[in-house]
Amino acid sequence: MTYFPEEVVEHIFDFLSSHRDRNIVSTVCKAWYRVERLSRRSVFVGNCYAVRPGRVMARFPGMKCLSVKGKPHFADFNLVPHDWGGFALPWIEAAARGCPSLEELRLKRMVVSDESLELLARSFPNFKALVLVSCEGFTTDGLAAIATHCRGLRELDLQENEVEDHGRQWLSCFPDSCTSLESLNFACLKGEVNAGALERLVARCVNLRSLKLNRAISVESLARILARTPHLVELGTGSFTIEHGAEAYQRLIHAFQKCKSLKSLSGFWDVAPRCMQSIYSICPNLTVLNLSYAPAIQGADLVKLIRHCFKLQKLWVLDCIRDKGLAVVASTCKELQELRVFPSDIYGTGTAAVTEEGLVAISSGCSKLNSLLYFCHQMTNAALITVAKNCPHFTRFRLCILDPGKPDPDTNQPLDEGFGAIVRSCKDLRRLSLSGLLTDKVFLYIGEYAARLEMLSIAFAGDSDKGMVYVLNGCKNLRKLEIRDSPFGDAALLENVGKYETMRSLWMSSCDVTLGGCKALAAKMPRLNVEVINDTDESDEMEENPSDMHKVEKMYVYRTLAGARNDAPEFVEIL
């Protein structure tokens, strides 16, 4: 191999933007490993228990951005007990010791205490961006520490976190000298903030481009804020009801008209349909619209709004848009790339809001669609086959038929052929979620055709161990597999144990895997952590020493260099 000076190699590596590429070049030879690790600025840790924090800091001393993910995905749906783990503190402590020049920290599904936020605030003089997604464990006191001590903070982005409200003062902790904010998102906070302090803060942060308010912010306050931030690109409104009548409403319309750069809108809690007229002037510029928190906007009002949004690329709505509304989206939003349709009626007491018809309409109108999350009451094979033909570019396809195990209502057949058509047609599919009545056949198709699949979510599907084996033997790029309530047992689990070292993790709950099977897996594969998670409610009733034949309620398996973790709670057994 031709000799290159290290500076040249480093310069070449600068062009590698993805973590995967950089990981690969670091394995070529010792010299490249050394150059790569010293020049790495951004590190992504997909599973916080796969590697020790100290090891990461030691390997990448020049790290500026760190992303860490904690709990498994099914924690979002309450399937992982509360104290399972995923603590941020060890990572922040290790970074404080090893990488004090850290600038950005992104955490997802982790437990973040106020103590860790305070440590973060004091340890990194160049700290610029904090992004917390689906985290919990902190209060507004922790946010106050960040606001107070992080000089030069550019981004504070809180997405869907559980934050305990300890008062409104935290926002006032941003000093008067703070003018650097570019992005501020506190939409998930339940409590009030000092409206005056907020208005002054956004006014002096002249580079502010993204602002997402919480529900406690009134429309009147929004109008005042918008008057001071005409260059906003992304806005999340607060509560969108008018309380004092026509005057505030006029001020709001006027303020919106001045915001010529607005491209993304979200929020709209408690919105009254009439109020949506105020945004008609911005709609033609919108590329992102999230109305998924606005159940009061239904049918006709929603349609009236959508008709103005012809540049839309990303749309999140509730299923009260109905099939007819989706047909309007299909004819209006030709640039649409991502669509999410959420259920407005989670407990299923009422009308079928969207069906396969809406999805077929979207697929025929929006040929650029590549990402879908669709909650519906029913789906047919014919519809899925049509969708597969119309939209071969799906990278993410998540379909949730609300009634588990429901067949095609026209033919009473399983949906194997429909999903089979999707995986055959969409060669770039990276993420897939299945639902409805499904036999082992769908997994045969997935194993055979879904070559690029990285994440697969299975619920109430399959007939036998063969189903799971098709997937494990077939999908060579599989990284995450999560299964619930499906008849896969020890034979499937142990069929291809080497596979799990090529994957990030495997989750199985309410399946047929036994304790004996888990023990066998752990014994064969020392570099996997096999966690058996017992439901805390039932732990009192359980026998002291359950037999190996005992079925495991929840199992989480992941590859790791760190060995068994030492912060596991009582109800987690690591084999």
Partner 1 sequence: MELELGLALPGSDRTPELGVHGEKRASLCRKRGVDEMLGKATLPLFIRKDNDEDGDDDSRQSKHLQELNFSGSRVLVGWPPVKMWRRKSDDCGRRRANCVKVNMEGVAIGRKVDLCLHDSYQALFLTLGQMFPKKQHDGEESDAAYYKVTYEDEDGDWMLVGDVPWELSVLKHKHKKAK
Residues 87-146 that bind partner 1 (CB under 8 A): 134
DSSP 552: P
Least distance (Å) between residue 485 CB and partner 1? 7
Residues 379-398 that bind partner 1 (CB under 8 A): 380, 382-383, 386
Number of residues located near partner 1, criterion CB under 8 A: 75
* CA pair distance 84, 465, nearest whole angstrom: 28
Of the residues 295, 392, 516, 546, which one makes contact with partner 1 according to CB under 8 A: 295
Of the residues 90, 191, 404, 546, which one makes contact with partner 1 according to CB under 8 A: 404
Residues 166-225 that bind partner 1 (CB under 8 A): 188, 215
Least distance (Å) between residue 159 CB and partner 1? 9
Of 349 and 545, which CB lies nearer to partner 1 in the complex structure? 349
Q: Which two tokens stand for residue 324?
A: 């007819």
* CA pair distance 102, 429, nearest whole angstrom: 34
Least distance (Å) between residue 28 CB and partner 1? 41
Of 56 and 383, which CB lies nearer to partner 1 in the complex structure? 383
Least distance (Å) between residue 568 CB and partner 1? 21
Residue with tokens 């191999």: 1
Q: What are the residue ranges of helices labelled H in 259-351?
A: 299-306, 322-332
Contact between 549 and partner 1 (CB under 8 A)? Answer: no
For helices 114-123 and 89-98, give the axis angle rounded to 10 degrees. Answer: 10
Element (H, E) at 159: strand 155-159
Residues 414-443 that bind partner 1 (CB under 8 A): 433, 437, 439
* CA pair distance 364, 383, nearest whole angstrom: 11
Residue with tokens 């009439």: 274
Residues 324-363 that bind partner 1 (CB under 8 A): 342-352, 355-357, 360
Contact 360, 327 (CB under 8 A): no
Least distance (Å) between residue 273 CB and partner 1? 5
Least distance (Å) between residue 478 CB and partner 1? 20
Of 167 and 405, which CB lies nearer to partner 1 in the complex structure? 405
Q: Which two tokens stand for residue 258?
A: 């001045």
Contact between 538 and partner 1 (CB under 8 A)? Answer: no
Residues 480-519 that bind partner 1 (CB under 8 A): 484-487, 512
Of the residues 292, 331, 534, 536, which one makes contact with partner 1 according to CB under 8 A: 292
Q: What share of the chain is helix, strand, coil (3-state, %, to 5)?
A: 35, 20, 45
Least distance (Å) between residue 3 CB and partner 1? 53
Contact between 463 and partner 1 (CB under 8 A)? Answer: yes
SS3 162: strand
Nearest CA to 135 among 106, 174, 177, 100?
106
Q: Can you spell out the DSSP letters for 97-155?
A: HH-TT--EEEEES-B--HHHHHHHHHH-TT--EEEEES-EEEEHHHHHHHHHH-TT--E
Element (H, E) at 200: helix 195-204
Least distance (Å) between residue 433 CB and partner 1? 8
Least distance (Å) between residue 190 CB and partner 1? 9
Of the residues 86, 238, 462, 474, which one makes contact with partner 1 according to CB under 8 A: 462
Residues 357-376 that bind partner 1 (CB under 8 A): 357, 360, 375
Residues 247-276 that bind partner 1 (CB under 8 A): 249, 269-270, 272-274
* CA pair distance 183, 259, nearest whole angstrom: 16
Of 124 and 397, which CB lies nearer to partner 1 in the complex structure? 397
